[in-house]
């Protein structure tokens, strides 16, 4: 029988080592968004010039907030509800809100993976034919004319969806090291090889240069537009899987003596490298297609979501030499990138249930993933799946995760005043130090930019709606999803713990003396002759 860790930090599962953690964290960060969101967002927001705000956002919000997640999960040794409760009891509700977000994301992300798996098979014979749009919406998804919910199951999508959930349940039941880590250790190197093959071949297609020109030609005058900067911060924020519990959970599985900041930097840069690679590959392919059709490239970059992957890309694949190979590698890459991200979403939910209800990995896989699979099939195995997915995805990402991130920074840094303690934690355990600048970015600048993003999004959605969906559907599916997360936050906080969450002392100790030494160290940081206050420890 598998051991039950509950909230006991000593019995918590662990990664097999630093490499296992790094690969799993990269697996979580590199997902479908890298493949289909980044290229379109970069193109729409100034092309090459977008890279300037993108890189600024990477270093001023992405990496600092990623480190904040690591610090909280690692210092307080728990899934979001447990770690946040250990900071302050009432913060547990935010942890459960994050769990709610991960539940919803898992439900629709599994559907996207099921579609990718189907297209992986279709690619062998290019079953989508000449009209990829009609094939995707009408033949494959059997999408009805108007948005709404129904229970008309589509065997072609529900079957693969059930298989995706079966795979998830088996891997989660195997535990953190034997299940999640091993899946990442297999998939991430495979994904890297597949990506390099795909991009390498794409660069030699006729017309690839036109695609690269479209992606990288800098419209520098656009740097003066605030919307470009907001888009860059949004992209960085969404691509790194930060502030909704994943990185907190993953870092809670690390040993106490574990390098935090340098591994975080490697993970963030690896994600950025995949993103650049995807941008290059996708735009080379689009350049080829534009040359083939004799049409401008912007006709092909209309969609940054599923449309790019399931409508535009199959068209491109059909025109390519060795098209079956290209299609198989593209949809195989998409499946691998998405599957490792899905595992991380589900692991947040499972870890939180394990911590609170003292369950083993197998029990959690059965009692947590089982019901999630059923809900996923009910919502996304039907003809209304596309509409439900589109709206839920939009609201969970733009409202749910942004609210969660702002609340996390404000509560931890400003309400609980844990900024210095977490600075100390990261610095003494890592080979890269952090200080006041990190606290400013993670605690002030990051949340400020996200509030600006949220206000802009709310204004635009209120004024323009979302696509042409009826208002009742946006309220039910979009705002309803956020309300469900809020409800999860309240209900699961009220339920009693079946372990001892508060029987815990964070390590390393942060006493008033240590706080004083930290302040002194920060004051004299530029004075190389000053004593390093953290060198006095043991080896």
Partner 1 sequence: MDSGSIAFLVLALLVMWGGLFLATVYLTLRPEPTAWPPGAEDDLTEDELDWHPDE
Residues in contact with partner 1 by the rule CB under 8 A: 2-3, 5, 11-18, 21, 47-49, 51, 55, 175-178, 209, 212-213, 215-218, 254-259, 262-263, 265-266, 269-270, 272-273, 275-276, 280, 360-361, 428-431, 507-509, 534-539
CB of 212 or CB of 282, closer to partner 1: 212
Give SS3 for 47: strand
Residues 6+ apart with CB under 8 A from 105: 345, 396
CB of 52 to partner 1, least distance (A): 9
Q: Which is nearer to partner 1, 278 or 488 (CB)?
A: 278
- Of 67, 54, 397, which is closest to residue 230 (Cα–Cα)? 54
DSSP element (H, E) containing 238: helix 226-239
Q: What distance in Å separates the CA atoms of residue 288 and residue 99, rounded to the nearest whole number?
A: 42
Own/partner pairs for 222-229, CB < 8 Å, 24+ apart?
Answer: 222/45, 222/46, 222/49, 223/46, 223/49, 223/52, 223/53, 225/46, 227/45, 227/456, 228/45, 228/46, 228/49, 228/50, 228/53, 229/53, 229/56, 229/57
Decide whether 111 or 247 has the Cβ nearer to partner 1.
247
Min separation Cβ 95 and partner 1, Å: 21
Rounded Cα gap, residues 67 and 173, in angstroms: 28
Least distance from C-beta 360 to partner 1, angstroms?
8
Coil, strand or helix at 279: helix
CB 102 → partner 1: shortest distance, Å? 20
- Give the residue with the Cβ less far from partner 1, 196 or 458: 196
Q: How far is the CB of 355 from partner 1 (least distance, A)?
A: 13
Which residue lies nearer to partner 1 by CB, 162 or 265? 265
Shortest spacing between CB 89 and partner 1, in angstroms: 24
Residue that the structure tokens 């080896």 belong to: 539
Closest CA to 379 of 75, 153, 44, 90: 153
287-325 CB burial, b ≥16 within 10 A, e <16: bbbbbeeeeebeebbeebbbbbbbbbbbbbbbebeeeeb
Nearest-approach distance from CB 256 to partner 1, in angstroms:
4
Minimum distance from residue 383 beta carbon to partner 1 (Å): 40
**Relative orientation angle of helices 18-29 and 323-357, to the nearest 10 degrees:** 110
Contact yes or no for 117/164 (Cβ under 8 A): yes
DSSP structure class, residue 127: T
The minimum distance between CB 339 and partner 1, in angstroms, equals 20
Q: What distance lies between CA 445 and its chain's CA centroid?
A: 21
Q: Please identify, using beta-carbon distances, which residue of 118 and 423 lies nearer to partner 1.
A: 423
Whose Cβ is closer to partner 1: residue 107's or residue 278's? Answer: 278
Cβ nearer to partner 1, comparing 496 with 537 = 537
Q: Which is nearer to partner 1, 157 or 363 (CB)?
A: 363
**278 versus 401: smaller Cβ distance to partner 1:** 278
Smaller CB separation from partner 1, 278 or 402: 278
Q: DSSP state, 479?
A: I
CA distance 326 to 332: 10
Question: How does DSSP assign 388-447, residue by residue?
Answer: HHHHHHHHIIIIIIHHHHHHHHIIIIIIS--HHHHHHHHHHHSSS---HHHHHIIIIIHH
Q: Residue 215 CB, nearest distance to partner 1 (Å)?
A: 8
Q: How far is the CB of 105 from partner 1 (least distance, A)?
A: 24
Instruction: Tell me the torsion sign for CA atoms 481, 482, 488, 494.
Output: negative
């Amino acid at each position: 029988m598998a051991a039950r860790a509950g909230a006991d930090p000593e019995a918590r599962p662990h990664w097999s080592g630093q490499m296992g953690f790094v690969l799993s964290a990269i697996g979580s960060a590199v997902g479908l968004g890298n493949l289909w969101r980044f290229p379109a967002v970069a193109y729409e927001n100034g092309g090459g010039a977008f890279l300037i705000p993108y890189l600024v956002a990477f270093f001023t919000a992405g990496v600092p907030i990623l480190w904040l997640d690591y610090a909280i999960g690692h210092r307080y040794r728990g899934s979001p509800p447990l770690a946040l409760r250990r900071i302050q009891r009432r913060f547990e509700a935010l942890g459960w809100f994050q769990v709610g977000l991960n539940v919803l994301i898992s439900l629709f992300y599994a559907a996207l993976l099921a579609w990718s798996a189907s297209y992986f098979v279709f690619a062998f014979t290019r079953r989508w034919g000449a009209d990829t749009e009609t094939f995707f919406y009408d033949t494959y998804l059997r999408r009805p004319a108007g948005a709404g919910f129904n229970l008309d199951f589509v065997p072609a999508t529900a079957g693969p969806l059930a298989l995706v959930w079966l795979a998830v349940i088996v891997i989660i039941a195997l535990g953190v090291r034997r299940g999640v880590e091993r899946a990442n250790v297999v998939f991430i190197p495979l994904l890297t090889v597949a990506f390099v093959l795909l991009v390498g071949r794409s660069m030699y297609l006729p017309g690839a240069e036109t695609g690269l020109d479209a992606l990288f030609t800098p419209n520098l005058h656009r740097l003066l537009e605030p919307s470009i900067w907001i888009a860059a911060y949004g992209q960085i924020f969404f691509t790194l899987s930060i502030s909704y519990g994943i990185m907190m959970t993953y870092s809670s599985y690390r040993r106490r003596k574990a390098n935090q900041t340098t591994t975080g930097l490697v993970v963030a840069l690896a994600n950025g490298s995949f993103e650049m690679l995807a941008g290059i590959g996708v735009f080379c392919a689009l350049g080829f297609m534009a040359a083939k059709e004799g049409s401008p490239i912007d006709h092909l970059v209309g969609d940054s979501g599923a449309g790019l992957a399931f409508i535009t890309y199959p068209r491109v694949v059909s025109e390519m030499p060795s098209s079956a190979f290209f299609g198989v590698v593209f949809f195989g890459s998409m499946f691998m990138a998405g599957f490792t991200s899905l595992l991380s979403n589900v692991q947040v939910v499972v870890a939180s249930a394990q911590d609170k209800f003292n369950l083993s990995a197998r029990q959690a896989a059965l009692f947590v993933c089982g019901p999630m699979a059923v809900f996923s099939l009910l919502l996304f195995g039907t003809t209304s799946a596309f509409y439900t997915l589109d709206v839920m995805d939009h609201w969970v990402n733009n409202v749910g995760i942004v609210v969660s991130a702002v609340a996390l920074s404000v509560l931890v840094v400003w309400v609980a005043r844990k900024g210095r303690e977490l600075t100390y934690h990261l610095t003494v355990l890592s080979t890269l130090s952090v200080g006041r600048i990190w606290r400013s970015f993670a605690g002030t600048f990051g949340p400020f930019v996200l509030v600006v993003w949220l206000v802009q999004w709310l204004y635009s959605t209120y004024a323009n709606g979302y696509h042409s969906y009826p208002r009742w559907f946006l309220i039910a599916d979009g705002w309803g999803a956020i309300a469900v997360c809020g409800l999860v936050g309240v209900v699961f906080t009220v339920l009693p713990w079946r372990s001892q969450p508060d029987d815990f002392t964070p390590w390393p100790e942060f006493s008033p003396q240590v706080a004083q030494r930290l302040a002194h160290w920060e004051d004299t940081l530029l004075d190389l002759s000053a004593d390093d206050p953290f060198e006095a420890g043991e080896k």
